Amino acid sequence: MNNEVKLQWHPAFCAAARLEFNEDMEELEFYSEYNLSRKPLQIDLLIVEKNRNVRLRNQIGHIFRQNNIIEYKCPGDVMSIDDFYKAVAYACMYKALGERVDAVKADELSISMMRESYPASMAAMLNKQGIEIEKVYDGIYYLKNFFIPTQIVVMKELSPGLHNSFRVLSRNAKRKDIETFVKDVESYIGKSEKADADAVLQVSMSANYELYDKVRRENTMCEALRRLMKDEIEETLEKATKEAIQTGLEKGLEEGRAKGHAEGHAEGRAEGRAEGHAEGRAEGQAQTQKKTSIALAKMGMSVENIASAVDATIAQVQNWINGNDIKTAETVK
C-alpha cells in the first residue's frame, strides 16, 4: 500500500516559473492551467509576452514568442511522444480559438516541454521522424526542422545558480541547490515573490525533508528555512494534539458516564466522570504522540528526530509507524 502524501507539483512548478522569470516579470503574463475552451482542456502553463521587442534575460525564455505553451511533467511521470503531440495540439487549438480570425499569429507561438530528466524515448521517436534535437544551453534543447519553435527543458541539467527554483523541484534535490535557493528566498521582498517561494519550498521540502532538516541544523544563515520548517512542524504537532486530546476526552467521558450509570449513584457518576477524564487525558496524550509521529514520518522525518520531537522512545515511534505501514529508512532496518 502506498501511503506517500501526494505532493502538489504543478502549483509549485508554476510558482517556480514565475520566480525563474522574476527579472522579466514586467514583460510577461502567467496563466496557470489555462482553459482552451469551455470543456476541460487545460494547458499546464501559458506565458504571454507583453512586449515582443524585449529579449528576455532567462535562457529558457530565449525561444519565447508572444504566446508560449508550457507542458510540465512531475518527477517520475513519463513524457511520451503522445505528450509532445498533445502540447502541439494545444498550441494549434490556442491559435485556432482566438477571438477573431488569425488573432493569434502562427509565428507567435512556442512550446516548452519540461521535465526533471531527459525524455530519451520521446527524443528517439522525434529523431526517427526527422526532427533533430540540438543542445543550446545546459539542460535546454531546441527542436530543429519543426514548424513551431519548440524546446525540451531538462530541469536537473539546468545551470546551477541560474535556475535554482526549477532545480529544487526534485525528489533528489542537491544540497548546494537548496542552499542557493534558500539564500535567494531570503532576498525576496515582494508579497507575490514570497508566496511563490513558499509554494516551491513546501513541495521541495516535503520531497527532500531529511536534507532540508540537515541544512536547517547546520547552516545558521538559513533563517527563512528554519522558520518555515518550524512553522510546519508546530502546525502538525498542534493539529495532532487537538485531534488526539478531543478523541481521548470523548472516549473518557463516554466510559465515565457508562460506569456512573451502572453504579446508579451520583457519587459513582462523579467518580466515573473523573476517572473518564483522567483516562481520556492519558489516552489523548498517547494519541497525540502517535498521530504526530505518523504525520512527521509521512513528511520524511527520521525516527530519531520524531522520537525527540514527541518525547517518546525510538521503539515506540517505530511501533506506531510500522502499525500504519509507513516505510522509512529507519523502520526497515
Average pLDDT over residues 208-212: 88
Which residues share a beta bridge with 143?
A: 133
Each residue's pLDDT tens digit, 216-239? 777 655 666 666 666 665 665 566
Note the Cα 237 to chain centre separation in Å. 21
* pLDDT for the residue 332: 38
Average pLDDT over residues 32-53: 81
Highest mean pLDDT out of 29-43, 67-81, 182-196, 201-215: 67-81
d(CA 234, CA 11): 24
pLDDT band of 266, cuts 50, 70, 90: low
Q: Which has more confidence, 89 or 248?
A: 89
pLDDT for residue 6 is more than 80: no
Look up the CATH number of domain 9-207: 3.90.1570
* pLDDT for the residue 165: 94
Report the mean per-residue pLDDT for the chain.
82
* pLDDT for the residue 333: 39
d(CA 54, CA 57): 9
Hey, what's the cell of 68? 508560449
Average pLDDT over residues 250-274: 58
Q: Which has more confidence, 122 or 314?
A: 122
The answer to whether the beta carbons of residues 111 and 150 sit under 8 Å apart is: yes
* pLDDT for the residue 273: 57
Name which of 42-56, 166-180, 269-283 the model is least confident about.
269-283
Each residue's pLDDT tens digit, 107-136? 999 999 999 999 999 999 999 999 999 999
Kindly list the domain boundaries of the chain, sorted by start residue: 9-207, 234-322
* Best CA proximity match to 74, nearest among 120, 15, 125, 7: 7
